[in-house]
Amino acid sequence: MSKITIHSDISNISLVEKLIDELSQQYSFHSDVYGKLLLAVVEGVNNAIVHGNKMVSEKKVTISYEVASNRISFTIRDEGQGFDHTLLPDPTTPENIERTHGRGVFLMKHLTDELAFSDKGNEVKLTFKF
């Protein structure tokens, strides 16, 4: 398993994008897989920075990744207090459809083959088949 650690600054998302680009080239991901990886992992890291670490730049986000046979998994961990992912409102219901926030986890669920949160809620594992 390999990992990178970044400070909680939105500009560091470019480091994650670069990592996805490098992995995509190394493993020759199909463009569909690349697109899913890029959107879901960047969303997860953005959530860790903004919601988990509350954009406190001294706090870190660790992105671990592992490639095994036909799958790649990313684990994103922040230093925040965590949250209960089961309590998130459904962004597709009429009362939430026009909200501009609250779609990140929904999006990640639909882009990944597997999505799992730690009990504390400050770590998420995204798995993609390729």
Taking the CA atoms of the chain, what radius of gyration do you get in angstroms?
14
Q: Please report where in the chains the tokens 């639909």 appear, as a residue.
A: 110
pLDDT recorded at residue 27: 95
Write down all domains in the chain, each with its CATH number in brackets: 2-129 (3.30.565.10)
List residues bridging with 69 in a β-sheet. Answer: none
Q: What is the pLDDT of residues 37-63, one digit of tens each?
A: 999 999 999 999 999 999 999 999 999
CA gap 37, 20 in Å, rounded: 7
Distance CA 58, CA 105 (A): 25
Share of the chain above pLDDT 90, in %: 83
pLDDT of residue 96: 77
> How crowded is the C-beta side of 52, counted as CA atoms within 13 Å?
30
Identify whether the C-beta of residue 102 lies closer than 8 Å to the C-beta of residue 20. Answer: no
